[in-house]
Amino acid sequence: DPERPAPEYTDAALTPEEGFRVNGYDTDEPEIDIPHWKLAVEGLVARPGEYGLTNIAALPKRIMNTRHCCVEGWSMIPKWGGTPLRDFLESVGVDKTARYIKVECGDDYYTSYDMPSVLHPQTLLCYEAYGKPLSLQHGAPVRIVMPTKLGYKSAKWVSRLVVTNEKPGGYWEDQGYDWFAGL
């Protein structure tokens, strides 16, 4: 529901940067050629293709202090910055009647979302944390941040978006984790 945001916190409530925790299923440092990185956009969009960080960062930036909740039992409140995924998808002519979006990542991780969650105003294509470019360990150059869902939905090192009507899975979801994973 776009009218029901996840809580946003004051700067005083932020997790200090030293506590900005890293978590990954396989590696914290996949081989990504950051200067030449492109986001492939495929499926039910008017303008499929490859988009660079400059295309994404040219759109209005949203900064938000929201809680990241890992299913393993820890959480943190970083200062995130990025482009609302909705704005980016509108810029490439997404078919909003499509049901799902799959994301693929530089470490072979993948996950997927329902369209309303993708269009939620707090769902970001995040390229900054604490006012600085996102570090490699946290998903550089671009990750998803989706504070309305558990942390395994906030995919790091995003490399490909596919808009589809066939329900995709995910790395953890295919092993039994909840697919919707709402908070």
Ligand X SMILES: Nc1nc2c(c(=O)[nH]1)N[C@H]1C(S)=C(S)[C@@H](COP(=O)(O)O)O[C@H]1N2
Q: Are 82 and 126 in contact (CB under 8 A)?
A: yes
Contact predicate 149/181, CB 8 Å: yes
Write out the binding residues for ligand X, residues 133-152 only, by CB under 6 A. 138, 151-152
Q: H or E element: which one contains 57?
A: helix 53-57
Site for ligand X in 80-99 (CB under 6 A): none
Nearer to ligand X, 44 or 124 (CB): 124
**Under a CB-based contact definition with an 8 Å cutoff, are residues 174 and 109 in contact?**
no
Q: According to DSSP H, which parts of 74-168 are helical? A: 85-91, 115-119
Selected binder of ligand X within 56, 125, 155, 161 (CB under 6 A): 155
User: Do residues 125 and 85 make contact, with C-beta atoms less than 8 angstroms apart?
Assistant: yes
Is 24 a residue that touches ligand X (CB under 6 A)?
A: yes
Binds ligand X (CB under 6 A): choice among 7, 13, 16, 22:
22
CB-nearer residue toward Mo ion: 43 or 78:
78
Q: Is 183 in the site for ligand X (CB under 6 A)?
A: no
The nearest distance, CB 35 to Mo ion, in angstroms, is 29
Question: Is 154 a residue that touches ligand X (CB under 6 A)?
Answer: yes
